[in-house]
Structures are given as structure tokens and as C-alpha cells.
């Protein structure tokens, strides 16, 4: 048990710190600190261009996706080195939001399933941020029930072996900014649902791909509908065997939980800071016993998550594979941020309702958290699905009764009413 | 950075688990629960012989000279087994205080006997209902004699020696009192957890020697409670895990509506939440263990964090363990209530949850005000 750096880790940290100090876009620091949950806070330039510029600079110096092998755009860093990088990158790390899905999910999926030639071609520009990727999984018919998807892939009948895609995805984060996507489709509706799926990657510029932003409940438009009208994909862009799409998707989803779950913001540091400074009739809010009790409850969740993440990294360093226990990160962070935001607004009394940048400078963060946090409890596996995963795969409880499990996909009922 | 116990420490855990499986079955815990004995003397002796009591006590004083990480590992196992022994009082508190502040003579007199289990020690701090603060310490020290009433004193009915907080001209100090000496009378109190006893001790001119710096008693007691809180958190983590396992096993075994109750999502999700609480508590306890073992300046925050999280987890797991067991869970015959009792007793030992929540935030605030470390 040693929470301090070893000499090698300290040397690595010094190297990282020196490079960041010399190269980080310091002119953005103040703006980035004003970021609210779900919004980069950047106003002095195009957020996408700024994000790409920082990512490219990191990549040129070997600091992009540093835990990836060098031949795919990384530097073969250890899990602990990656943590150190994250700690030192600090506020500039929030510039990387655009790449989370590409680096956290698409990259690892390609690494596991693409051909060597494709990996050498696709991964370096993905790492450097020159090419942005999205994840085309969820559909109107189901997000939790991913295997119930309906987007069809059929062989072109022109002998090319190409696939023709027809259907629709939904909730695709960042599709409007993406160059490529990984796409899960149904290739065989005559077998039970998990067995008839196949995974591909494709260019988002392919003819027949249409992207329509969706206005979110918090007013922003991070996610999209994506329509496929006779989109042609060469067979070489298939990931895994025909019918093996479900297994391939598990690679993505496992990595999704690792990358979304570890180091998730809980909002606690912001709330603590706010309570130190908020003046009430009886002095700073932090002096109030009721406030302290609530703060303490959030504090132990935040630190428990942090050290649970670190324990997972220690396990990873010893060569253990990250397992379903990583589901805990998002489950705790999402719910706790939502409650914490409500508490912060409550402390503001009736002004808690004000979300006006001219009058609510410091507090606006919590209004943004309040409005964004419901999404955290849904995206990448809902709270309920995560609890199922923990119950079944960590604790060994029975799976839910699945009435559609052995039924050919085409015979599964599609509406709950009549 | 490495956020895990070493292989040797894990081996020690396996050894302790095996020993306790043999010597501290639920049936033996029930002997203490239901009988006149205040604690399991045979088990206590065995723990001494195994070197578990003396794990963090130096060899020069009859201990094994390992360290606090090893003691954390042992504490977790004692918590899992619900061991009915005065470990916290004697080892986390009394032995710890002697190691930190005892004179050579005091250490030589008591540490070897605490390490072997031949003697039991405790801390006598509080004097009545409510949060214990410096102001609530009314016991008086005059002319080398201590007078006052302490309640509750954990294991105070069986202890041979107590570290007692009392007032003198210089303020509150800690004193060492041989409880077999004159001027000490005590009574055993009934509690919500009869597997760990509590007493009221009346000191009436009991001879006492000062332990540690004069007038610094409250600060010393706080430091002592921090260290004990980390160890106690491991007991609570062990108890949480065991309560979760019991609930899981029952959920797999019990049938209702033609299926295992563990296949109902309400039950699955309850168990998942127990797992979450226990996992967060474990991670926070590791942070505390590291701070304790390295005497880190982080210890006050780490200890309060570990404590608050562990109390939450154990209460959560123990109460839902009963819920999963249904009517069976509310019988005397099933073991669920042993963990429920222990969880709620430990939640109060060393200070209540609201006290520790308050301490945690106060300390985070102080850390925040302190100039950043160089
Ligand atoms: C901000 C945001 C970004 C997203 N980005 C992406 C993306 O980039 N790519 C992508 O593919 N998808 C994305 N998603 C989609 C997300 O993965 C799905 O919304 C999610 O998996 C839930 O699916 P659903 O919306 O169909 O809800 P449903 O599955 O219909 O769920 C509705 C409710 O039913 C519950 N429920 C469903 N099944 C069960 C069950 N078996 N047991 C108990 N309860 C159940 C759910 O927990 C939920 O409360 C995003 C979503 C959000 C909110």
C-alpha cells in the first residue's frame, strides 16, 4: 500500500509537468475553469478547433493516448503513468471531451478486432484527434436492449461482397463532428436477437448517411439521430465475424464503463468550494452542521470513487483485466452529482432558480449540473442496467427472465400496448 | 503508487480468516450473546498466541513488530467474524496510546501483557449522553488521585488498565489507571450488542499516572481516536462484506413465486447497492490504512473519511441483510441480527456518525486553508 509516487513515477511526473508547463494553452486556463458540466466553457475560439489543436500538440510530443502501443499512436505507458498524466493535465484535460468516445471505446474495439493494416492506418489519427469517431449503437427501439436493434446490413447482390445498410441510430454523441463511426447492425433476423448481429466501421461522410442533431433536455445538442439510406460498406470494414457483433460490442461496452466510470466528476470539489465561500446570516455555509453532514456524505462518495478507481488501476498494473466491478463509477457519480446539484440550489434559497450568467456567476455550475446529470444516469448503461450487471456478474445472482431470448428476432413483439 | 495490500499481508489475512473460521463460528459468538461471559476468553488468548493482538506492537514489548497495515488486515477479519473480543479497546486504543506516549516503565508494565492478551486495556473518555468534547470532561485529578464517572467505557467491566481523560490545573490530560487498584468501582451495562460489553466506571480517588503531555489530553485523545477509527473502519468493512455475502447466499437459496428471490430485480438492486456501499468503504479504508501506516499529515482527513464511509456501509448492509431474509431475518435464531447489532454499536463507538461528519468537513476546511505543501 503506497499512495505516493515511486522514484520512477516521480521522475515521470516531473517530465509530464515540465512538458505541460511549456506547452499547455495557458491562455485558455481561466475559461476552462469556468466550464460547467456539459459545456467546455470556451468562448474565445471554436471549441472544436481548440480541442483538436491541443490533442495534436500532445500527439506530436507522444502524449496522446499514452497507454496505447507506439505503433498505434501512443507511447506504451503503464496504467499508473496514464493516471499521473491525467492528474497533471488537470484543467486542460477537459479539452479532450470531443475524443472520449473515440479514445475510450472505438479505439479499444478497433485494437481488438481490426486487421493489423487497418489498425496502423486508423488508430494514429484517432489518437492525435485529427479524426474523430462516434459510436453508432443505440436505436429508437432500444438502448438498454441493445441487441434488439433493427438497422439492417445486407450483402449487395452485385458480387462485391459489400454490405448495404438501412436503418436509423439515435443518441449518437458527437456524430455531427465525427469522421468515422463503429456501427452495429442486424445481419440475420431469423435467429435469436443476440446471434444475428454484425459490427462494422464506416466513414461518416459515406453517401446515404444523414445526421440530424437532437435538442437535449438541457438545451444543448450533443447527440444526434443518424439515418442510413442504402449506405455501402466494404466487407473489409467488418469487425469480427458475421453474426459475432454482440461479442464485439461487449469489448466496446466494457471499455465504455472503464473510461466513463473512472475519474467521473461528482461535483464535490465545486460544492465544497462553494460552501466555503457562501455567506449566510450565521457565517459561511460550511459552518452549518446540516451542511457539514451533507458535505461529508458527498465527500466520502467522491473519495471512495477516486480510490476505487485507483485500486482498479493497481489491479490493471498487475495484469488483471478490468471487470464488471467498474460499473460502480458511473452509477455512484451520476446519482451523487444529481443530488448534490439539488442541494447546492437549495442552499441558494429562491435564487437557486436563477441561471443567468449576469447574476449567478459562481452558482451557475450547479444549475448546469442539475440539468445535465439526468443524462449521466442514462448514457452508457442506465443505473438499472448497471445494478443488474453488478448483481449478476459480480455477485452471481440469476439473470433476469428474458422472454425474447430464444425467439427468432423477427417474431419478438414490438409494442407494449395492444 | 500501489493501492493494494502486499502478498504477505494477503497471506496474513488468509491465516486470520482460517483461524477465525475455526475458533469464532457464529455458534461461539452466540455463547457470548446469550451467556454471562462478557467476551470470549479462549478466543482472546488464541489471538494473542497467533500474534494477532501484538501485530503492531514492537518485539521489544512482546509484540510481533509488523505494523499497522497488518493490524488493518486482522481488524477486517475480526469484523467479518463478529468476534466477541475487546480488540478495539485493548489494542487500537490502550496499546496504541501506550506506544505513542507511554514512558519506558509504562510500556514495559503493560504492552507485553496487552500483546499476549493476558491483560485488557481500554479508553475512558465520555461521561454521559451526547457528543464528547473537551468541555464535557469533568473527571478531576488531584494529588495523583483521579475522581469522576465515565460512561460508557467499552469493555470497561473486564479491562485491567484504562487510559482516562481528566482535568487538572493545566487542563485536560490523559492518565493511566490500574483498574485493579483502589478507588475503582464498575458496573456492566446492558447494550444493543451484548457481544461487546460496556461499563460505567466510578473513580473515587484512584491512583493515576499521567500519560503524555500535561494539558494536551484532548488533542492526544483526538489523535488516538483517528488512529482507532481507521482500524475500526476495517472491522466495519469486514462486517459489511459478510452481511452482503449472507444476503447474497440467501437470495440464491430462497424460492418465492416459483423462482429464486435473487432473480427479482428489487432484491438484485438492493444487493448491488450494498456492494457499492461496501466497495466505496473499502477503498476509503485503504486510504486511511496508508495514512495511518505512514503517519501522513493526511491522517485526520483520511481517518474521518474511512470512518464515515465504513459506518454508512455497515449500517446499510446489515439492515438490508435482514430485509433480504424476510421474516427469518427477524428471528433470534438467524445470525442477521448479530451483524445488525454490531453495525449499529460500531457506528457509535469512537463517536457518532454526525460527529465524524463534522470532523471530516472541519479538517478538509483546515487543509484547504493551510498553505499548499512545498
Ligand atoms: C447524453 C447521452 C449520450 C448518449 N450517447 C450515445 C452514443 O454516443 N452512442 C450510443 O449508441 N448511444 C448513446 N446514448 C444512448 C444510451 O446508451 C441509451 O439511452 C441508454 O442505454 C438507455 O437506452 P434507452 O434510451 O433506449 O432507454 P430504455 O432502454 O428504453 O430504458 C428506459 C427505462 O427502462 C429501464 N430498463 C430498461 N431495461 C431494463 C431492464 N432490463 N431492467 C430494468 N430496467 C430496465 C431503464 O433503466 C430506463 O430507466 C446516449 C444517451 C444519452 C442520454
Among A229-243, A326-340, B121-135, B328-342, whose mean pLDDT is lowest?
A326-340
Using the atom order of ligand 1, give the atom closest to the CA of residue A141. 26
- Do B308 and B235 fall into the same domain? yes
- Do the domain assignments include residue B157? yes
Distance in Å, alpha carbon of A1 to nearest chain B alpha carbon: 5
Buried b (16+ CB within 10 A) or exposed e, A157-177: eeeeeebbbbbbbbbbbbbbb
Ligand 1, atom 1, residue with closest C-alpha? A375
Tell me the three cell numbers of residue B365: 476546511
Residues A18 and A126 in one domain: yes
Last residue of a domain, one of A131, A165, A198: A131
Beta bridge partners of B165: B174
Distance from residue A198's CA to the centre of ligand 1 (Å): 20
CA max distance for chain A: 79
* pTM score, whole prediction: 0.95
Pairwise CB contact (< 8 Å): A397 & B252: yes
Range of the domain at B276: 218-369
- Mutation to probe ligand 1, out of A379, A393, A402, A416 (largest number of atoms < 8 A from CB): A379
Average pLDDT along chain A:
92
What is the average pLDDT across B209-224?
98
Residue A35's pLDDT is 79
Q: Which residues of B touch A311 (CB under 8 A)?
A: 3-4, 283, 286
* A119 and A12 housed in the same domain: yes
Query: How far is residue B335's CA from residue B247's CA, in Å, rounded to a whole number?
Result: 11
In chain A, which among 139-178 make CB contacts under 8 A with chain B? Answer: none
In a domain, B138, yes or no: yes
User: Between β-strands A283-284 and B255-256, what pairing exists: parallel, antiparallel or unpaired?
Assistant: unpaired
**Is the pLDDT reported for residue B166 higher than 70?**
yes
Report CB contact under 8 Å: A276, B308: no
| Interface touch A314/B276, C-beta < 8 Å | no
The CATH number assigned to the domain holding A165 equals 2.40.110.10
Whichever domain contains A31, its CATH number is 1.10.540.10
Q: For residues B45 and B63, state if they share a domain.
A: yes
Q: Which residue of B has its CA nearest to A386?
A: B272
CATH of the domain at B178: 2.40.110.10
Q: Cα distance from A404 to chain B (closest Cα, Å)?
A: 17
B283–chain A Cβ distance below 8 A for any pair: yes
Distance A316 CA to ligand 1 centre (A): 28
How far is A121 from A301, CA to CA, in rounded Å? 42
Q: Let me know whether B257 and B357 are in one domain.
A: yes
CATH of the domain at B255: 1.20.140.10
CB proximity A320 to B under 8 Å = no
Please report whether residue A171 resides in a domain.
yes
Phi and psi at A4, nearest 5°, equal: -95, 165
B357 contacts A296? CB cut-off 8 A: yes
- For residue range A301-345, what is the model confidence (pLDDT) as tens digits? 999 999 998 898 888 888 887 788 888 999 999 999 999 999 999
Residues in chain B: 374
B144-164 CB burial, b ≥16 within 10 A, e <16: eebbbebbbbbbbbbbbbbbb
Q: Distance between CA atoms of A250 and A256, rounded to whole angstroms?
A: 9
Of the candidates B215, B326, B227, the one whose C-alpha atom is nearest the C-alpha of residue B270 is: B326
The answer on pLDDT for B200 being more than 60 is: yes
Residues in chain B within 8 Å Cβ distance of A331: 276
Residues B238 and B104 both lie in one domain: no
* Residue-level pLDDT at A318: 85
Contact B358 A384 (CB under 8 A): no
- CB of B284 within 8 Å of a chain A CB? The answer is yes
Stretch B266-277: mean pLDDT, rounded?
98
Q: Which of residues 238-257 of B touch A (CB under 8 A)?
A: 244, 248, 251-252
Interface probe, candidates B268, B292, B354, chain A, greatest A C-beta count within 10 A: B268
Are the Cβ atoms of A397 and B281 closer than 8 angstroms? no
Averaged pLDDT score across all residues of chain B? 97
pLDDT per residue as tens digits for the range B170-185: 999 999 999 999 999 9
Q: Do A292 and B357 touch (CB under 8 A)?
A: yes
Please give the pLDDT value at position A118: 97
* Chain B (172-201) residues lying within 8 Å, Cβ to Cβ, of chain A: none
Please give the average per-residue pLDDT across B278-285, as a whole number. Answer: 98
B288 with B302: CB under 8 angstroms?
yes
A324 and A365 housed in the same domain? yes
Write the CA distances from A363 to A269, A287, A369, integer angstroms.
13, 19, 10
Q: Catalogue the active-site residues of A.
A: 256
The ligand 1 atom nearest the CA atom of A374: 53
Instruction: Verify that B178 and B277 share a domain, yes or no.
Output: no
Q: Are residues A127 and A17 in the same domain?
A: yes
CA dist B258 and B219 (Å) reads 60
Q: How many domains does chain B have?
A: 3
Final residue belonging to a domain, choices B93, B119, B145? B119
Q: Is residue A286 part of a domain?
A: yes
Q: Which of B136, B46, B120 is nearest to B87 (CA)?
A: B120
Domain that holds residue A95: 7-131
Residue B371 has pLDDT above 80, yes or no: no
Q: Which of A297, A310, A331 sits opposite B3 (nearest CB)?
A: A310
pLDDT digits (tens, 9 = 90+) for A51-99: 999 999 999 999 999 999 999 999 999 988 988 999 899 999 989 999 9
* CA Rg value for chain A: 23
Confidence of residue A195 (pLDDT cuts 50, 70, 90): very high
Decide if pLDDT at A402 tops 90: no
How does residue A418 score in pLDDT terms, banded at 50, 70 and 90? low
High-pLDDT (> 70) share of chain A, %: 97
Using the predicted structure, report yes or no on whether residue B22 has a pLDDT greater than 50: yes
* Chain segment B28-66, per-residue pLDDT in tens: 999 999 999 999 999 999 999 999 999 999 999 999 999
Distances in whole angstroms, Cα of residue A396 to Cα of each of A134, A326, B241: 33, 16, 15
Q: Cβ of A145: how many Cβ atoms within 10 Å?
A: 15
Helical ranges in A90-172 per DSSP H:
100-101, 107-113, 116-127
Residue B46 in domain: yes
pLDDT of residue B275: 98
Establish if A226 belongs to a structural domain: yes
Give pLDDT, residue B374: 37
The owner of cell 474511512 is B306
The CATH number for B68's domain is 1.10.540.10
Is residue A254 a part of any domain in this protein? no
- Which chain B residues are Cβ-neighbours of A305 within 8 angstroms? 280, 283
Residues with CB under 6 A from ligand 1: A 101, 134-135, 137-138, 142-145, 171-173, 223, 375, 378-382, 384-385, 388, 400; B 265
Instruction: Say which of B5, B291, B309 has its CB closest to residue A304.
Output: B309
Cβ neighbours of A90 (radius 10 Å) = 13
Tell me: do A72 and A149 sit in the same domain. Answer: no
| 3-state secondary structure at position B91 | helix
Cα A172 to Cα A180: distance, rounded to the nearest angstrom: 12
What per-residue confidence (pLDDT) applies to A262? 56
> What's the confidence (pLDDT) of residue B373?
45
The predicted pLDDT at position B19 comes to 98
Instruction: Establish if A310 belongs to a structural domain.
Output: yes
Q: Which residues contact A136 (CB under 8 A, 6 or more apart)?
A: A169, A172, A175, A181, A182, A183, A184, A226
* Minimum-distance CB partner of A391 among B259, B269, B286: B269
Q: What is the CATH number of the domain that holds A318?
A: 1.20.140.10
Task: Decide if B1 is inside a domain.
Answer: no
Report the candidate in B370, B219, B223, B369 with the shortest Cα–Cα distance to residue B291: B223
How high is the pLDDT of residue A256?
65
Residue where a domain stops, chosen among B215, B240, B273: B215
Is A319 within 8 Å of chain B by CB?
Answer: no
User: What residue's CA is closest to ligand 1, atom 9?
Assistant: A172
Give the residue, A256 or A73, on which the prediction is more confident. A73
Give the pLDDT confidence score for residue A168 in this predicted structure: 98
CB proximity under 8 Å: A 254-293 to B: 272, 276, 286, 289, 292-293
Is there a domain that residue A58 lies in? Answer: yes
Chain A residue with the nearest C-alpha to that of B10:
A1
CA angle B267, B271, B275 (to 5 degrees): 170
Distance from the A376 Cα atom to the nearest Cα atom in chain B, whole angstroms:
17
Contacts of A386 in chain B (CB under 8 A): 272
Are A308 and B279 within 8 A, CB to CB? yes
A 331-370 residues with CB < 8 A to B: 331-332
Domain contains B2: no
Residues B100 and B168 in one domain: no
In a domain, B181, yes or no: yes
| Residues B202 and B250 both lie in one domain | no
Count of domains forming chain A: 3
| pLDDT surpasses 90 at B119 | yes
Q: Are residues B78 and B207 in the same domain?
A: no
B236 and B340 inside one domain: yes
Q: Where are the beta strands (DSSP E) in A241-291?
A: 279-280, 283-284
Residue B305 φ/ψ, nearest 5 degrees: -65, -50
| Residue at which a domain ends, from B190, B215, B240 | B215
Are residue A342 and residue A329 in the same domain, yes or no? Answer: yes
Percent of chain A residues past pLDDT 90, beyond the cut = 76
Contact flag B268-A388 (C-beta cutoff 8 Å): yes
In this structure, are A110 and A146 located in the same domain? no
Same domain, B98 and B204: no
Amino acid at each position: 500500500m503506497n499512495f505516493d509516487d515511486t522514484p520512477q513515477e516521480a521522475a515521470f511526473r516531473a517530465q509530464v509537468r515540465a512538458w505541460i508547463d511549456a506547452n499547455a494553452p495557458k491562455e485558455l486556463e481561466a475559461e476552462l475553469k469556468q466550464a460547467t458540466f456539459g459545456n467546455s466553457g470556451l468562448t474565445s475560439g471554436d471549441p472544436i478547433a481548440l480541442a483538436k489543436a491541443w490533442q495534436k500538440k500532445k500527439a506530436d510530443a507522444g502524449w496522446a493516448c499514452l497507454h496505447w502501443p507506439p505503433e498505434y499512436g501512443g507511447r506504451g505507458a503503464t496504467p499508473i503513468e496514464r493516471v499521473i498524466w491525467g492528474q497533471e493535465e488537470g484543467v486542460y484535460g477537459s479539452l479532450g471531451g470531443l475524443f472520449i468516445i473515440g479514445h475510450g471505446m472505438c479505439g479499444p474495439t478497433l485494437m481488438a478486432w481490426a486487421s493489423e493494416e487497418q489498425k496502423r492506418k486508423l488508430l494514429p489519427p484517432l489518437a492525435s484527434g485529427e479524426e474523430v469517431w462516434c459510436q453508432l449503437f443505440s436505436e429508437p427501439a432500444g438502448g438498454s436492449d441493445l441487441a434488439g436493434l433493427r438497422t439492417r446490413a445486407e450483402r449487395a447482390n452485385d458480387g462485391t461482397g459489400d454490405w448495404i445498410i438501412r436503418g436509423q441510430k439515435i443518441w449518437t454523441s458527437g456524430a455531427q463532428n465525427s469522421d468515422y463511426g463503429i456501427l452495429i447492425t442486424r445481419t440475420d433476423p431469423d435467429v435469436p436477437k443476440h446471434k444475428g448481429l454484425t459490427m462494422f466501421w464506416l466513414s461518416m461522410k459515406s453517401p446515404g448517411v444523414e445526421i440530424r442533431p437532437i435538442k437535449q433536455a438541457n438545451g444543448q445538442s450533443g447527440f444526434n439521430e443518424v439515418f442510413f439510406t442504402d449506405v455501402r460498406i466494404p466487407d473489409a470494414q467488418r469487425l469480427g465475424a458475421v453474426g459475432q457483433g454482440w461479442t464485439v460490442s461487449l469489448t466496446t461496452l466494457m471499455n465504455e464503463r472503464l473510461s466513463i466510470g473512472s475519474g467521473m466528476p461528482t461535483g464535490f470539489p465545486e460544492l465544497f468550494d462553494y460552501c466555503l465561500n457562501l455567506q449566510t446570516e450565521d457565517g459561511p455555509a460550511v459552518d452549518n452542521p446540516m451542511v457539514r453532514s451533507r458535505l461529508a456524505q458527498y465527500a466520502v462518495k467522491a473519495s471512495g470513487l477516486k480510490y476505487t478507481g485507483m485500486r482498479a488501476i493497481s489491479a490493471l498494473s498487475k495484469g488483471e483485466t478490468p471487470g464488471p466491478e467498474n460499473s460502480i463509477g458511473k452509477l455512484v457519480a451520476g446519482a451523487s452529482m444529481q443530488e448534490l446539484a439539488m442541494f447546492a440550489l437549495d442552499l441558494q434559497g429562491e435564487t437557486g432558480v436563477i441561471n443567468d450568467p449576469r447574476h449567478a456567476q459562481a452558482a451557475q455550475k450547479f444549475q448546469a449540473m442539475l440539468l445535465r446529470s439526468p443524462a449521466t444516469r442514462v448514457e452508457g448503461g442506465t443505473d438499472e442496467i448497471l445494478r443488474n450487471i453488478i448483481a449478476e456478474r459480480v455477485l452471481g445472482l440469476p439473470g433476469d427472465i428474458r422472454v425474447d431470448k430464444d425467439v427468432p428476432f423477427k417474431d419478438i413483439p414490438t409494442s407494449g400496448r395492444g | 503508487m500501489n493501492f493494494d495490500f502486499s502478498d504477505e499481508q494477503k497471506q496474513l489475512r488468509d491465516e486470520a480468516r482460517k483461524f477465525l473460521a475455526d475458533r469464532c463460528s457464529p455458534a461461539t459468538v452466540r455463547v457470548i450473546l446469550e451467556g454471562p461471559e462478557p467476551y470470549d476468553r479462549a478466543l482472546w488468548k488464541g489471538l494473542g498466541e497467533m500474534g494477532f493482538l501484538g501485530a503492531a506492537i514492537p518485539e521489544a514489548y512482546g509484540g510481533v513488530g509488523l505494523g499497522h497495515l497488518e493490524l488493518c488486515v486482522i481488524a477486517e477479519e475480526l469484523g467479518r467474524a463478529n468476534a466477541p473480543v475487546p480488540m478495539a479497546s485493548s489494542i487500537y486504543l490502550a496499546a496504541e496510546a501506550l506506544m505513542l506516549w507511554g514512558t519506558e516503565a509504562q510500556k514495559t508494565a503493560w504492552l507485553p501483557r496487552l500483546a499476549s492478551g493476558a491483560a485488557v486495556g481500554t479508553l475512558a473518555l465520555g461521561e454521559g449522553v451526547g457528543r464528547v468534547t473537551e468541555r464535557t470532561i469533568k473527571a478531576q485529578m488531584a494529588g495523583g488521585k483521579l475522581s469522576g464517572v465515565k460512561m460508557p467505557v467499552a469493555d470497561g467491566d473486564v479491562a485491567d488498565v484504562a487510559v482516562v481523560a481528566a482535568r487538572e490545573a493545566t487542563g485536560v490530560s490523559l492518565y493511566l489507571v490500574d483498574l485493579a487498584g483502589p478507588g475503582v468501582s464498575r458496573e456492566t451495562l446492558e447494550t444493543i450488542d451484548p457481544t461487546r460489553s460496556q461499563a460505567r466506571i466510578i473513580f473515587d480517588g484512584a491512583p493515576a499516572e499521567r500519560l503524555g503531555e500535561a494539558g494536551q489530553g484532548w488533542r492526544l485523545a483526538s489523535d488516538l481516536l483517528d488512529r482507532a477509527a481507521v482500524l475500526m473502519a476495517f472491522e466495519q468493512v469486514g462486517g459489511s462484506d459478510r452481511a452482503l455475502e449472507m444476503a447474497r447466499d440467501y437470495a440464491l437459496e430462497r424460492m418465492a413465486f416459483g423462482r429464486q428471490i435473487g432473480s427479482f430485480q428489487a432484491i438484485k438492486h438492493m444487493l448491488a447497492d450494498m456492494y457499492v456501499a461496501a466497495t466505496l468503504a473499502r477503498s476509503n479504508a485503504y486510504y486511511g490504512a496508508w495514512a495511518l501506516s505512514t503517519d501522513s499529515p493526511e491522517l485526520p482527513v483520511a481517518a474521518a473519511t474511512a470512518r464515515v464511509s465504513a459506518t454508512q456501509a455497515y449500517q446499510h448492509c446489515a439492515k438490508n441483510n435482514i430485509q433480504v431474509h424476510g421474516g427469518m431475518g427477524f428471528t433470534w435464531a438467524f445470525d442477521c441480527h448479530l451483524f445488525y447489532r454490531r453495525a449499529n454499536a460500531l457506528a457509535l463507538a469512537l463517536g457518532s456518525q454526525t460527529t465524524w461528519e463534522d470532523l471530516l468537513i472541519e479538517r478538509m476546511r483546515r487543509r484547504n486553508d493551510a498553505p499548499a505543501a512545498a
